[in-house]
């Protein structure tokens, strides 16, 4: 699994997150409103996964490891004040 | 040439024709859904085809046009004249590219600028207003994107808008990975098609995103890398003005040197062209290299190579003009209003043609039958060698001969059949040309095409384009009246020009009829008198139909002004010359106030020519049968010297006489018979007599054009082999007159 629930309040994405991660990620976020997503170990994420992050806007712990995610995608997900 | 490219060229030309046809039909009937779909499909297929041959610039241009048509299909906006013109201009560009490709065998390298121009045309020429597209959707997004990323806006060259299909995840597509794959992404903006729903109602497998990106990749590169999702993206090149930097500015010295080379190439005539080309190219390459711009140097080197291959300095000249100089290019190219027609088809027509499978099958069958016939001949040979009775053998051979005769006849028909094309191939280009001609002359005309399915030999069909174009120009320019004049006369607007074709036996008749004002015969007579084309008395005695024929004389015109479309009467003269070269005739028929009809009568095929054989100066000659009016024998006492020449009177008409033996440089007979044998013929609008020694029979021949030393000789049309192995020279009477 490239998605795991570390503890009650943290969901971790690492490696290359495929489309299969989108559904579990959504379920985790629904089950735990306010959970932090730690994607500092994430190299790449499928659009479906990014879409969940965009829709749910969870607090993120990063920056992600992959260059494209870090430079291009992450700025879109950072909420003002973070 | 690469097989794919060959196929691409054939298909693309067909698609361009299809699309033009559809667009014109759409202009007349904007609600014609089928035509719209068909035009859209044609553009879409052109785009796909361009992708297959790695011609990214063309794919990009097609995409821009396709977008507009897609919007129409979706019901946003409506068909306007401007939109149709833009799409047609886009197709014109494609044709120019195809011509270049036909010459070079590969996609032109410097097509980027032309593709940009097309994209701009669709983006810039008020397409938004035309389509009533919500502002947000097209050009607006680029501005938003640039405004949102001021820091990133300095370098990128291309903006991409990617609206993934909501179901794309199921196809294994990953839109973000696709964008990442373009490379050089400077900024990304993600929008949603609609506001986000509540999280628990979100379908994680439906893509709801719209991706907007700025990249440093060129539009071509981006287009190529996004080919797999090409129907979901929009690619816009960013103008030099927006990106601000582009390439470094050229130093004044470098600019001066490059401009010198452009001048040198401008004056490069045929003479010394190769040398000038090579030297200008080398200088330009070295300039770029010394400036530390190896990419530009390589580009110019490539342009030099293609220029040399095509013997056309324009390619290199264009490439030098396009050298990036700061934010702009060195010097803008020639005005787009006068586009370089590009190298025309080198051999005057496409070398590849499509043939109906049935026709090939017929040939196969004939080949089989010929083999059987040959085997039967083997049998006869065996009998002959076995000492068979001559009488019986002759009977068998006669039978075989009859069989062969039939097969050869069929074979000839089948081979001619392969070369047969429907006239549609030329006709379909005219509705559009008539529309443009009428538009530019402030007239309204509708072209009605009849009998486009009529077939004729490929050579005839292809050679018909120009004379017909001249004829249509004349009809639009001189024939039909302006809408105001027509309204005043109570005539319908728009005027109708009818282009019709039909088979009449072995002949093909093509006519152009307009319902305009007709030819003013009094004016024709006036001009003929003014230009002293005929003696006054002769002119006065000329019946109207003969007077009308004067418009075919070189340099004649009844037009008061010279318009851009038809020059001073060059048209009619050119039509007659072209048609007669094909072995045809032209007549003009006019009724005052009711219209003019131009009728072209052509042989169905140029391959079989009926000739009349004559002997002169001990040599056999053929005279094309359609030029022969009659043959007469005239007593020598009735032939009178007329200046340096001779003439005789036939039915009260003075006819100039040419002695064939002398005309072709042979000897006249030592003792001329008391009666001269004369072929009365007509060519170039003149009737004259050709004196020969003897009339022989008539013959159908396959004419071979003159080759080698004889090729440039006037008066000779071609040769053919006679049954006894002698060569028959067929005369070109019109050439003989000169």
Per residue in A4-54, pLDDT (tens digit) is 777 778 888 888 888 888 888 888 888 888 888 988 889 999 999 999 998
- Does residue B428 contact residue B20 with C-beta atoms inside 8 Å? yes
**What pLDDT was estimated at residue B600?**
92
Contact (CB<8Å) A72/B180: yes
Cα angle B454, B549, B569; round to 5: 85
Tell me the pLDDT band of B597, cut-offs 50, 70 and 90: very high
Compute the distance between CA of residue B470 and CA of residue B116 in angstroms, rounded to an integer: 34
Q: Report strand pairing: B619-624 vs B628-635.
A: unpaired
Distance from CA of B129 to the nearest CA of A (A): 32
Q: Which residue in the block uniquely carries the two structure tokens 């590219």?
A: B97
Q: How far is B244 from chain A (nearest CA, A)?
A: 22
How does strand B619-624 pair with strand B727-731?
parallel
Strand pairing category for B608-616 and B694-702? antiparallel
Does domain A3-77 bear CATH number 2.30.42? no
Residue B351 predicted with pLDDT over 70: no
A45 vs B contacts (CB less than 8 Å): 176
Phi, psi of B212 (to 5 degrees): -120, 130
Does the pTM surpass 0.90? The reply is no
Q: Please give the angle made by the CA atoms of B648, B650 and B656, to the nearest 5 degrees.
A: 40
Partner B contacted by A7 (CB < 8 A): no
> What pLDDT, on the 0 to 100 scale, is given for residue B104?
83
pLDDT (0 to 100) of residue B129 = 36
Per-residue confidence (pLDDT) for residue B509, from 0 to 100: 92
For residue B418, what pLDDT band results from cuts at 50, 70 and 90? confident
Using a pLDDT cut of 90, give the percent of chain B over it. Answer: 5
**pLDDT at B599 > cutoff 90:** yes
- Confidence check: pLDDT of B112 > 50: yes
A76 contacts B189? CB cut-off 8 A: yes
Res B312 pLDDT > 70:
yes
Of the listed ranges A12-21, B211-220, B518-527, B704-713, the one predicted with least confidence: B704-713
Q: Give the pLDDT confidence score for residue B564 in this predicted structure.
A: 42
Residue B608 has pLDDT above 50, yes or no: yes
In this structure, of B271-275, B376-380, B400-404, B600-604, the range with the lowest mean pLDDT score is B271-275
| pLDDT the model gives residue B429 | 79
CA-CA distance, B77 to B36, in Å (whole number)? Answer: 13
pLDDT band for position B252 (cuts 50, 70, 90): low
When pLDDT is cut at 50, 70 and 90, the band that residue B325 belongs to is: low
**Smallest Cα–Cα separation from B559: which of B469, B479, B466?**
B479
User: Does residue B510 have a pLDDT over 90?
Assistant: yes
CA distance B290 to B252: 14
In this prediction, residues B620-630 reach a mean pLDDT of 87
Strands (E), B367-504: 420-422, 445-450, 455-457, 495-504
Confidence of residue B245 (pLDDT cuts 50, 70, 90): very low
Find residues 22-81 of chain A whose CB sits inside 8 Å of chain B: 22-23, 25-26, 29-30, 44-48, 50-52, 54-56, 68, 72-73, 76
Instruction: Give the C-alpha separation, B1 to B346, whole Å.
Output: 14
**Residue of chain A nearest B179, judged by CA positions:** A68
Q: Report how far residue B542's alpha carbon sits from residue B526's, in angstroms, rounded to the nearest whole number.
A: 13
* Tokens matching residue B675: 């009666």
Residues 6+ apart with CB under 8 A from B80: B130
- CA-only gyration radius of chain B, Å: 33
Distance CA B178, CA B368 (A): 57
Q: Is the pLDDT of residue B660 over 60?
A: yes
Task: Look at B581 and B564; give whichever has higher pLDDT.
Answer: B581
Q: How far is CA B197 from CA A11, B201, B203, B204, B208, in A?
A: 22, 6, 9, 12, 11
| Interchain contact, A46 vs B176, CB within 8 Å | yes
Residue B242 binned pLDDT confidence (cut-offs 50, 70, 90): very low
Which helix (H) or strand (E) segment holds residue B527: the answer is helix B521-530
Q: Are B579 and B600 in contact (CB under 8 A)?
A: yes
End-to-end CA distance of chain B: 42
Exposure of B563 in the CB half-sphere (CA atoms within 13 A)? 20
DSSP structural state of residue B482: P
Least confident of B73-82, B246-255, B383-392, B675-684: B246-255
Residues of chain A in contact with residue B205, where contact means CB-CB under 8 angstroms, are: 19, 22-23, 48
Tens of pLDDT, residues B117-139: 888 777 654 333 333 333 334 55
Residue B500 pLDDT exceeds 90: yes
Provide the shortest C-alpha distance from residue A48 to chain B (in Å): 6
Give the E-state strand segments of B193-243 in sequence order: 209-215, 233-237
Write B341-346 long-range contacts (CB < 8 A, 24+).
B341/B96, B341/B99, B342/B96, B342/B99, B342/B100, B342/B103, B343/B99, B343/B100, B343/B102, B343/B103, B343/B310, B343/B312, B344/B99, B345/B99, B345/B102, B346/B102, B346/B103
Q: Of B523-527, B541-545, B554-558, B672-676, which gets the smallest average pLDDT? A: B554-558
pLDDT tens-digit profile of B696-711?
Answer: 888 777 666 666 666 6
Burial class (CB in 10 A: 0-12, 13-18, 19+), B705: exposed
How much is the average pLDDT of B285-298?
Answer: 73
Taking residues B357-366, report their average pLDDT: 87
pLDDT of residue B499: 94
SS3 breakdown of chain B: % helix, strand, coil, rounded to 5? 50, 20, 30
Identify the pLDDT of residue B568.
Answer: 40
What ipTM was reported for this prediction? 0.92
Overall average pLDDT of the B65-88 stretch? 82
Q: How confident is the model at residue B79 (pLDDT cuts 50, 70, 90)?
A: confident
Cα B93 to Cα A33, B85, B297, B390, B425, distances in angstroms: 57, 12, 26, 71, 20
Q: Which of A27-41, B33-47, B49-63, B233-247 has the lowest mean pLDDT?
A: B233-247
Query: Which of A25, A26, A47 is facing B207, going by the closest CB pair?
Result: A47
Which has the higher per-residue pLDDT, A74 or B2? A74
Chain A CB contacts of B174 below 8 Å? 19, 46-47
Range in B116-130, B481-495, B614-628 with the lowest mean pLDDT:
B116-130
Give yes or no for a contact between B622 and B716, defined as CB atoms under 8 angstroms apart.
no
Per-residue pLDDT, B269: 58
Distance from CA of A60 to the nearest CA of B (A): 17
Looking at chain A, which residue has its C-alpha nearest residue B181?
A: A68
Whole-angstrom CA distances from B678 to B347, B610, B660, B671, B735 are 39, 19, 10, 17, 18
Q: pLDDT value at position B117?
A: 83
- With a CB cutoff of 8 Å and minimum separation 6, the contacts of B63 are B47, B223, B230, B234, B235
Give the whole-angstrom CA distance, residue B586 versus residue A67.
75
| Residue A59: strand, helix, or coil | coil
Pairwise CB contact (< 8 Å): B174 & A72 = no
Query: What pLDDT, on a 0 to 100 scale, did the predictor assign at position B352?
Result: 66
Give the confidence band of B338 by pLDDT, cuts at 50, 70, 90. very low
A45, B175: Cβ pair inside 8 Å? no
Report, as an integer, the average pLDDT of B227-251. 61
When comparing pLDDT for B270 and B640, which is higher? B640
Measured between alpha carbons, how far is B518 from B594 in angstroms, rounded to an integer?
Answer: 6
Q: What is the mean pLDDT of residues B407-435?
A: 83
pLDDT-based confidence at B150, cuts 50/70/90? low
Cβ contact, residue pair B174, A47, below 8 Å: yes
Q: What is the pLDDT of residue A49?
A: 92
Task: Enumerate the residues of chain A whose CB falls inside 8 A of the CB of residue B176.
Answer: 45-47, 50, 68, 73
Distances (CA, A) of B64 to B44, B87, B228: 10, 10, 17
Closest CA to B729 of B685, B691, B684, B699: B699
Residue of A nearest to B208 (CA): A51
The per-residue pLDDT for B152 is 59
The confidence score (pLDDT) of residue B349 equals 44
Q: Taking 90 as the threshold, does the pLDDT of residue B512 lie above it? A: yes
3-state secondary structure of B17: helix
Separation between Cα atoms, residue A62 and residue A57, nearest integer Å: 14
* pLDDT, mean over chain B: 79
Predicted confidence band of residue B244 (pLDDT cuts 50, 70, 90):
very low
Is residue B34 packed enough to be buried (19+ CB in 10 Å), middle (13-18) or exposed (0-12)? exposed
Task: Give the nearest partner residue to A48 out of B169, B189, B192, using CB atoms.
Answer: B169
Q: Which of A62-76, B35-49, B337-351, B443-457 has the lowest mean pLDDT?
A: B337-351
Residue B87 C-alpha, separation from nearest chain A C-alpha, in angstroms? 36
Of B174, B180, B204, the CB nearest to A52: B204
What is the average per-residue pLDDT within B234-263? 62
Residue B236 to chain A, least CA–CA distance (Å): 20
pLDDT for B598: 92
Q: Can you tell me the mean pLDDT for B216-221?
A: 78
Residue B329 has pLDDT above 80, yes or no: no
Which of B163, B176, B180, B207 would best serve as a mutation to test chain A binding (most A beta carbons within 10 A)? B176
Q: Do B199 and A50 touch (CB under 8 A)?
A: no
Check if the beta carbon of residue B471 is closer than 8 Å to that of residue B516.
no
Q: Look at B424-433, B467-476, B687-696 and tell me which has the smallest mean pLDDT.
A: B424-433
Of A25, A48, A55, the CB nearest to B205: A48
Q: Where are the alpha helices (DSSP H) in B149-218?
A: 175-182
């Amino acid at each position: 699994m490239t998605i795991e629930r570390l503890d009650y309040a943290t969901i971790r994405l690492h490696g290359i997150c495929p489309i299969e991660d989108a559904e579990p990620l959504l379920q985790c976020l629904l089950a735990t409103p306010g959970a932090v997503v730690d994607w500092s170990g994430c190299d790449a994420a499928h659009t479906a996964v990014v879409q969940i992050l965009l829709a749910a806007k969870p607090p993120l712990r990063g920056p992600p490891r992959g260059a494209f995610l870090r430079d291009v995608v992450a700025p879109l997900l950072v909420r003002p004040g973070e | 040439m690469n097989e794919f490219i060959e196929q691409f060229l054939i298909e693309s030309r067909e698609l361009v024709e299809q699309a033009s046809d559809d667009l014109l039909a759409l202009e007349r009937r904007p609600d014609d859904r089928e035509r719209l779909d068909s035009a859209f499909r044609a553009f879409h297929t052109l785009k796909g085809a361009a992708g297959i041959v790695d011609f990214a610039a063309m794919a990009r241009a097609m995409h821009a046009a396709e977008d507009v048509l897609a919007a129409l299909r979706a019901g946003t906006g409506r068909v306007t004249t401007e939109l149709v013109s833009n799409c047609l201009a886009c197709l014109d560009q494609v044709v120019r590219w195809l011509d270049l490709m036909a010459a070079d065998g590969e996609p032109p390298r410097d097509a980027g600028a032309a593709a940009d121009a097309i994209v701009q045309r669709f983006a810039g020429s008020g397409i938004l207003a035309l389509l009533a597209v919500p502002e947000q959707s097209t050009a607006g997004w680029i501005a938003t994107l640039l405004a949102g990323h001021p820091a990133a806006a300095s370098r990128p060259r291309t903006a991409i808008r990617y609206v993934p299909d909501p179901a794309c995840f199921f196809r294994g597509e990953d839109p973000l990975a696709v964008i990442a794959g373009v490379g050089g992404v400077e900024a990304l903006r993600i929008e949603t098609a609609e506001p986000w729903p509540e999280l628990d109602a979100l379908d994680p497998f439906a893509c709801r995103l719209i991706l907007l990106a700025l990249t440093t990749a060129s539009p071509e590169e981006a287009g190529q890398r996004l080919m797999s999702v090409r129907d979901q993206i929009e690619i816009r090149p960013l103008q030099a003005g927006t990106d601000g930097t582009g390439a470094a500015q050229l130093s004044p010295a470098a600019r001066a040197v490059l401009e010198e080379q452009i001048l040198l190439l401008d004056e490069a005539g045929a003479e010394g062209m190769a040398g000038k080309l090579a030297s200008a190219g080398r200088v330009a390459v070295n300039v770029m290299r010394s400036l530390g711009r190896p990419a530009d140097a390589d580009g110019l080197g490539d342009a030099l190579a293609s220029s040399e291959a095509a013997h056309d300095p324009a390619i290199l000249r264009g490439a030098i003009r396009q050298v990036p100089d700061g934010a702009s290019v060195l010097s803008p190219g020639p005005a787009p209003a006068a586009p370089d027609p590009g190298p025309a088809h080198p051999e005057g027509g496409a070398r590849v043609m499509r043939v109906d499978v049935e026709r090939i099958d017929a040939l196969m069958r004939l080949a089989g039958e010929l083999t059987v016939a040959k085997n039967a001949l083997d049998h006869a040979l065996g009998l002959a060698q076995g000492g068979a009775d001559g009488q019986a053998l002759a009977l068998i051979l006669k039978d075989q001969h009859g069989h062969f005769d039939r097969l050869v006849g069929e074979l000839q028909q089948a081979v001619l059949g392969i070369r047969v094309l429907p006239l549609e191939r030329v006709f379909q280009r005219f509705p559009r040309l008539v529309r443009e001609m009428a538009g530019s002359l402030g007239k309204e005309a509708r072209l009605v095409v009849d009998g486009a399915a009529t077939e004729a030999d490929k050579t005839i069909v292809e050679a018909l384009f120009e004379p017909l174009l001249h004829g249509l120009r004349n009809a639009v320019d001189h024939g039909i009246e302006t809408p105001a004049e027509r309204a005043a006369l109570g005539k319908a607007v728009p005027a109708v020009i009818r282009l019709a074709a039909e088979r009449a036996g072995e002949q093909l008749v093509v006519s152009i009829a307009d319902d305009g004002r007709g030819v003013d015969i009094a004016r024709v007579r006036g001009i003929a008198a003014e230009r002293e084309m005929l003696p006054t008395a002769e002119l006065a005695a000329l019946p109207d139909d003969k007077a009308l024929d004067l418009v075919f004389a070189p340099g004649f015109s009844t037009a008061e002004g010279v318009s851009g479309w038809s020059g001073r009467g060059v048209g009619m003269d050119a039509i007659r010359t072209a048609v007669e070269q094909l072995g045809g005739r032209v007549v003009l028929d006019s009724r005052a106030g009711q219209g003019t009809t131009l009728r072209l009568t052509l042989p169905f095929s140029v391959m079989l020519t009926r000739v009349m054989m004559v002997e002169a100066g001990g040599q056999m000659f053929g005279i094309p049968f359609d030029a022969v009016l009659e043959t007469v024998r005239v007593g020598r006492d009735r032939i009178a010297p007329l200046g340096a020449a001779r003439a005789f009177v036939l039915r009260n008409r003075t006819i100039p006489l040419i002695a064939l033996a002398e005309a072709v440089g042979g000897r006249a007979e030592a003792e001329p018979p008391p009666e001269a044998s004369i072929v009365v013929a007509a060519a170039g609008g003149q009737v004259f007599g050709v004196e020969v020694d003897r009339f022989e029979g008539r013959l159908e021949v396959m004419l071979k054009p003159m080759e080698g030393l004889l090729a440039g000789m006037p008066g000779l049309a071609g040769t053919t082999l006679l049954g006894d192995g002698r060569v028959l020279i067929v005369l070109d009477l019109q050439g003989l007159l000169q």
